[in-house]
Structures are given as C-alpha cells and as structure tokens.
Amino acid sequence: MHSSTEALAPKKPGFSANTIKVELLSGLTVALALVPEAVAFAFVAQVEPLVGLYAAFIVGIITAVFGGRPGMISGATGALAVVMVSLVVTHGVEYLFAAVVLMGILQVIFGVMRWGKFIRMVPHPVMLGFVNGLAIVIFLAQMGQFQSVDEVTGVASWLAGMDMVLMLGLVVLTMGVIWFLPKVTNAIPAPLAGIVVVSVIVIGLGLNVQTVGDLAPISGGLPEFHIPMVPLNFETLQIILPYSVILAAIGLIESLLTLNLVSEMTDTRGGASKECLAQGAANVVTGFFGGMGGCAMIGQSMINVKSGGRTRLAGIAAALFLLSFILFASPLIEQIPLAALVGVMFMVVIGTFAWNTFKILHKIPRTDAIVLALVTGVTVYSDLAVAVVVGVIVSALAYAWNASKRIDAHTTTNSEGQKIYKLEGPLFFGSAAGFQEIFDPQSDPNDVIVDFINSRVVDHSGLQAIDALATRYELVGKTLHLRHLSPDCKDLLHKAGSMVEVAVLEDPHYGVAVDYDAEMQKETQPHSA
C-alpha cells in the first residue's frame, strides 16, 4: 500500500516522441533568447561577448544536468554583471575569472552544508516583490533596444519616426503571435513561432532594423581551459573575496527563488541544496573556461516553462543549441531582428508580473503590503540580494513587534494560597519588557507560580527576563516557581547555569501514550515472592 505522500507525488513526465519534440523546440526558443541577453550582460560587465556566451553555455548545461530543478534555465545574468563591472574595470578580466571560481567554491560549500533550506524563511510578500521587481527589471532592460547609439559621440537617443514605428510594429506582431498561436495549436512553442515569423518578414522584405549581429559578432570556437592569470597570494584573495561572496549570495538567492517559482508553476518540488551544488560546480568550471559566471534566469525559465519545457532535456538542448550557434550558425542567428526578441521578453514580463498584487494590496496586512512594495523597489533600484535581505529583515521585525504584543497572563490563586500566573505568548527579546509589567512582587503572596504551558522561552533575552523577575521577588523575600517548561526551554535554563536561580516545579507525569491493556495485565499478574 502506498503512503499518502507517494500518492500525492506528481508523476514524472515520460519521454514520448511528442514530449521530446516539445522539449527540443522549447530549448531552441530559450537558446535564441539567450544570445542577445548573454551579449548584453557581457557588455554590462565590460567583457567580450564570448565571455558571456560561454558562461551561458557552461552554466546552462551543468545546471540542466545536475541541478535540483528540471525545467529551470541558468546562464549569464544582469544581476551578477552589475557587480562584476567594478572588478573588471579596476583589476582586469583575469581577476573576474578567479572571482567566479571562488564564487563557485563558496556555493558548493553552501550546498554541502545544506544551507539552501534557509530559502524557506523568505516570506510570501518578499517572493511576490522579487517576482514583480525582476519583471520590471526585465522590462527596463529592453528599453535599450528602442535607442540608437551615435558611433562618434557614443550618446544614446530614442529611435524616431518610421524607425520607432517599425520597431514597435514588429514587437507588437511578435507578441500577437505568441498570444494567438496557443489558441490554434500547441505543435510548436509560441515564442519560437513569433521569432520565426518576424524574422522571415524582416529578411524577406529587407527591412532595415536592428539585428542580433548589430550587438556584436557571436561566432567563436569551443571554450578552452584557462587558469586565471592572477598571482596566487593573499593580496589576490583580499581583492576577489568580497566580490565572490556577493556574487555567490546573489546567484544563490536568485536561483533558489526562481526554483521556488518554477516549482509552484509546475506543481513539482525542487532540491534547494542540490541546486546550490550544481550552481557552484557550474561557476567553478566556467571560471576555468573563460566565462563570466551565472545563475538561474527567471526570464528564460519562464519562456521554457510556458513553451512546455518540463524536463532536463529542454535545458540541455538550450545549452547545446547555443553552442551550435557560436560554432556553426552565427551568420543566421545574427540576422534575427531584436524586435522579435524584445517581443518575447515583453510577453515574459506580462506572464511573470503578479498582476493580482494590485487586488490584494488593500486586503493583506499593511506590513506585508509595505514589504512587497519595498522588495519590488529595491530589486529595481539596487539588486536582488539587498532586496531579499531587506524584505526578510523587515518581515522579521514586523513579526517580532506583533509577537511582542501577545505576551499576557491569566492569574488565579490555588487552595494553598499560591498565586498562579498562566502565561500566554512567546517570551523573547521583543516581549521581555511586557513580561516584566505583568507581575507585581510587592502585592503578590510569598509563593508565586509562573505557568509556561502556553508560552515558550525563545532566546537569551527571555532567560534574562526570568532572571530579572526572580531577583525582583527575591528582594521582597518571596519565592518564584516555574512550571510546564518545554524540554527546549529547560535546556536553555540549564545552559544558563547560575543566571536563573529559581525553583522549577516538576510537571506531573500523565500517561497519554500508555498501553492500558498492558498495564492491567501487569497488575493482575501475581507478584514474585
């Protein structure tokens, strides 16, 4: 008989001919969208385009094979690129490769220590803010395609006249194909169809629009093994370690939040620690093969999922297609109009943004609404790691504030004249002051019992509060007893040593789980002489 968890577990998709076709076409769609993204992020980091493309291939294929979330796409990302640029400008690209290797080692350590589980501590408002913030970031990143750069002055200006009309028209056409095609057929992924239709129109009519080739040539050979040319000394470590720590943190946070998002969309589970290991291994390899490092890409992951990609095959195919573009098909790929890829990304933005945010903002607690808006804003104006940390801290402080107001006590007097304070709520740093205000040592009888049956001592501040309370009663010559402390609370008191010098009343033993039939048999058996 199967357990309930086995019965509820989602079935793994089988590899029928149709499934393989869907996965391969989804991978092709992702690969086409990866090219301009990787090139653009390479420019942001001020490295050669192939450095970004190699990272997209290596990180993509390793995480697709070994990662904890089938269907998720990884590669070079803008969130990492904006951190890398100052290192490249100050010390050169070789230091970047060394930093990426160290970044990968740190991520492997996180995976071995199973720290990926702490992503569960990210509250839902932070998750919504992350999704909305990244959707806005993806949208804003496309604005550069609506501008032209003067070759002499290097100044960017918005497209004007027919150039802007043509660009907007092709973007809208791409979006229209992606929206309409699934209503007719699911034979091929809608984003791929949109790219093909617009490319055929542009090439067939000879329209003068920006193409992938206008960004940079993407042709190249296989990535080659390359040990970063940096001095192996403590000074180098001092230079790269701060960057590596930040890159590792941003990479894992974005990857694990994307993992959770894809898991929710596909109603499946992902392995957080396994993903940490895969991301780390991928970045170590990338650093030794001249890549800029990477992490999960929410935009590409959404394209893959919405195109039908559910297995590792789609991610592997995307990476291999990307490599084939670099090796063999660069002249063809360079003819793809950027307008088609912008249209794909705009549809990703529409699908990624949680539009129900506007409906629930006035229904959820005000603190959650503030956290949601705060994380969204910080993601857009700073970076994801800072946004998530800020969101978690604000959520934790809000919880602590609310919990601090829950400490209370019901008082009674027993037949022996002892006053009993029956506590309600957790005793921790936030509620310690309120805990002290509950008691009145001057007016209380000589024996006072504090009953913790509905309370918990959570931290050192709780211990200190108990110690301070015991001192107050001791000063007026009265005795304080503690009752119904949970085992972990008693451990805290034990570890505190002489900090808490109060009498702990032993709890009565209740036979909740006693086998009474067995007990009856024992009682009826004759006793030995």
What is the residue-wise DSSP string for 390-401? Answer: HHHHHHHHHHHH
pLDDT score, position 60 = 96
* Nearest-5° Cα angle at 212, 180 to 282: 95
Q: How far is CA 513 from the centre of its chain?
A: 42
Considering the domain architecture, whether residues 268 and 317 belong to the same structural domain is answered as yes
- How far apart are the C-alpha atoms of 498 and 517, rounded to whole Å? 45
Cβ-based neighbour number of residue 202 at 10 Å: 20
Residue 412 in domain: yes
Is the pLDDT at 499 greater than 70? The verdict is no
Which of 330, 364, 379 is the endpoint of a domain? 379
pLDDT band at 382 (very low <50, low <70, confident <90, very high): confident
Q: Residue 503 phi/psi, 5° resolution?
A: -85, 125
Residue 12 in domain: no
pLDDT tens digits, one per residue of 419-463: 999 999 888 888 888 899 999 999 999 989 988 888 888 888 888
pLDDT score, position 321 = 95
Which of 363, 379, 395 is the endpoint of a domain? 379
Is the pLDDT at 115 greater than 80? The verdict is yes
pLDDT score, position 16 = 83
- How far apart are the C-alpha atoms of 339 and 344, rounded to whole Å? 9
Amino acid identity for residue 234 in this structure: F
At residue 13, the 3 state secondary structure works out as coil
* CB neighbour class for 319 (10 Å; exposed up to 12, middle 13-18, buried from 19): buried
pLDDT band at 493 (very low <50, low <70, confident <90, very high): low
Could you tell me the pTM of the whole model? 0.71
Q: Residue 211 phi/psi, 5° resolution?
A: -125, 175
- How far apart are the C-alpha atoms of 225 and 219, rounded to whole Å? 18
Give the CATH number, domain containing residue 495: 3.30.750.24
Structure tokens at 155: 């100044």
Residue 364 in domain: yes
Considering the domain architecture, whether residues 82 and 163 belong to the same structural domain is answered as yes
Are 118 and 389 spatial neighbours (Cβ–Cβ below 8 Å)?
no
Which of 379, 394, 423 is the endpoint of a domain? 379
pLDDT band at 489 (very low <50, low <70, confident <90, very high): low
pLDDT band at 380 (very low <50, low <70, confident <90, very high): confident
Q: Between 435 and 188, whose confidence is greater?
A: 435
- How far apart are the C-alpha atoms of 424 and 437, rounded to whole Å? 14
Considering the domain architecture, whether residues 349 and 478 belong to the same structural domain is answered as no
Considering the domain architecture, whether residues 322 and 276 belong to the same structural domain is answered as yes
State the average pLDDT for the chain: 84
Is the pLDDT at 522 greater than 80? The verdict is no
Domain interval for residue 467: 406-523
State how many domains the chain has: 2
At residue 484, the 3 state secondary structure works out as coil
Residue 322 in domain: yes
